[in-house]
């Protein structure tokens, strides 16, 4: 895949729910960018890959949990661009066969260092490779200045008139990029997939750190389903029905929760009649195989 990819499509959904209220719903299909370097992970890696290659690095080094979409994307990108890759994975009991994400990354040539949970945060701050000039280090989740620059490019690909943008939220890097790219136009709603106090504050700090000054955004903290990677039957049912009705696959960690939240907002008339909303499909589909292995094929597609 060349470092420049085609713009992903913007697709309108035809939903009775929305039509009845004169709301129009569009999806930015970043899940279609690439089968493995997918969605926001591609956006966030793009300029980092350019930088690594320009700097003559030969190895990408990163960090993550055992099912991390970011780790999966780094492994796929490294293979595609002829780089080596190393990931520090949280959990010393794991190995490269532990789940589908790790198996696939291992097949793509990624090397793992499985580390104790108690030491993981410390290692993240200064991995052994930190002084190795051949290594390019990517933070956990992939958010840095170049990631935000990549995510901002989503905005330039939207040729439809839009009033509000909806996006899943993990570290907030993608949302920060959208806000930067919009330059103050449109309200952005972020849907945290994590539960925690202080998300507002850490996002405000993130924006401040990257000199993004716009304040027309909101974090909707209601749809984390108990926290990161937590789910219930309603969420899984929603994801399966959504696929049947729209032929779009959602993942249970990020995009499923966001769309569920958006649908609730529409149903509860929290989105004004006449509004045009754009939901960013940030990908994440690599995780479904591993999810289904653990939870007996609850999701009806892979």
Ligand X SMILES: *Cc1c(COP(=O)(O)O)cnc(C)c1O
Burial of 91 (C-beta count, 10 Å sphere; 0-12/13-18/19+): middle
Nearer to ligand X, 57 or 257 (CB): 257
Taking CB under 6 A as the binding criterion, the range among 49-57, 92-100, 113-121, 249-257 that sits at the site for ligand X is 249-257
Q: Which of 85, 98, 143, 144 binds ligand X (CB under 6 A)?
A: 143
Taking CB under 6 A as the binding criterion, the range among 37-45, 53-61, 101-109, 158-166 that sits at the site for ligand X is 37-45
Nearer to ligand X, 21 or 204 (CB): 204
Which residues are within 8 A (CB) of 265 and not within 5 positions of it... i.e. 6 or more apart? 220, 271
Nearer to ligand X, 95 or 240 (CB): 240
Taking CB under 6 A as the binding criterion, the range among 52-60, 87-95, 195-203, 251-259 that sits at the site for ligand X is 251-259
Answer yes or no whether residue 290 interacts with ligand X by CB under 6 A: no
Per residue in 38-65, is it b (16+ CB within 10 Å) or e — as a string?
bbbbbbbbbbbbeebeeeebebbbbbbb
Q: Which of 221, 222, 257, 223 is nearest to 242 (CA)?
A: 257
Answer yes or no whether residue 260 interacts with ligand X by CB under 6 A: no
x/- map, 155-194, ligand X, by CB under 6 A: -------------xxxxxxxx-------------------
Answer yes or no whether residue 283 interacts with ligand X by CB under 6 A: yes
Closest approach of ligand X to the CB of residue 73, in Å: 8
Closest approach of ligand X to the CB of residue 1, in Å: 18
Q: Which of 26, 33, 39, 256 binds ligand X (CB under 6 A)?
A: 39
Could you identify the residue written with the tokens 């200064």?
Answer: 126
Asked if 207 and 177 count as a contact pair (C-beta separation under 8 A), the reply is no
Answer yes or no whether residue 284 interacts with ligand X by CB under 6 A: yes
Taking CB under 6 A as the binding criterion, the range among 38-46, 48-56, 209-217, 261-269 that sits at the site for ligand X is 38-46
Asked if 28 and 281 count as a contact pair (C-beta separation under 8 A), the reply is yes
Answer yes or no whether residue 101 interacts with ligand X by CB under 6 A: no
Closest approach of ligand X to the CB of residue 151, in Å: 7
Q: How far is CA 301 from CA 4, 188, 249, 254, 291, in A?
A: 30, 30, 8, 16, 11
Helix axes 39-54, 69-80, angle to 10 degrees: 50
Interface positions, 40-99, toward ligand X (CB under 6 A): 40-41, 69-70
Closest approach of ligand X to the CB of residue 248, in Å: 13
User: Would you tell me how many other CB atoms lie within 10 Å of the CB of residue 288?
Assistant: 21
Which residues are within 8 A (CB) of 145 and not within 5 positions of it... i.e. 6 or more apart? 210
Closest approach of ligand X to the CB of residue 30, in Å: 9
Question: Which residues contact ligand X (rule: CB under 6 A)?
Answer: 39-41, 69-70, 141, 143, 168-175, 251, 254-255, 282-284
């Amino acid at each position: 895949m060349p470092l420049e990819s085609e713009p992903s499509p913007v697709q309108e959904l035809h939903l009775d729910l929305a039509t009845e209220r004169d709301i129009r719903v569009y999806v930015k299909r970043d899940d279609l960018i690439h089968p493995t370097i997918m969605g926001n992970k591609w956006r966030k890696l793009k300029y980092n890959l350019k930088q690594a290659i320009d700097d003559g690095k030969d190895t990408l080094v990163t960090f993550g949990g055992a099912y991390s979409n970011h780790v999966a994307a780094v492994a796929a990108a490294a293979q595609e661009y002829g780089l080596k890759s190393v990931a520090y994975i949280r959990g010393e009991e794991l190995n490269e066969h532990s789940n589908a994400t790790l198996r696939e990354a291992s097949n793509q040539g990624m090397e793992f260092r499985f580390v104790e949970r108690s030491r993981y945060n410390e290692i993240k701050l200064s991995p052994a490779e930190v002084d190795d000039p051949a290594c390019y280090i990517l933070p956990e989740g992939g958010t840095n200045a170049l990631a935000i620059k990549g995510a901002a490019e989503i905005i330039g690909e939207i040729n439809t008139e839009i009033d509000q943008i909806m996006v899943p939220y993990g570290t907030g890097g993608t949302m920060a990029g959208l806000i930067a790219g919009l330059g103050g136009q449109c309200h952005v709603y972020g849907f945290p997939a994590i539960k925690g106090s202080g998300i507002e504050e850490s996002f405000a700090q993130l924006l401040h750190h990257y000199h993004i000054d716009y304040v027309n955004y909101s974090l909707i903290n209601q749809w984390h389903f108990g926290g990161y990677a937590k789910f219930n039957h309603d969420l899984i049912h929603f994801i399966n029905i959504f696929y049947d009705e729209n032929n779009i696959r959602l993942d249970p960690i990020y995009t499923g929760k966001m769309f569920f939240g958006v649908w609730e907002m529409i149903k509860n008339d929290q989105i004004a009649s006449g509004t045009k909303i754009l939901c960013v499909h940030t990908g994440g589909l690599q995780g479904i195989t591993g999810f289904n292995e653990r939870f007996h094929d609850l999701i009806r597609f892979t």
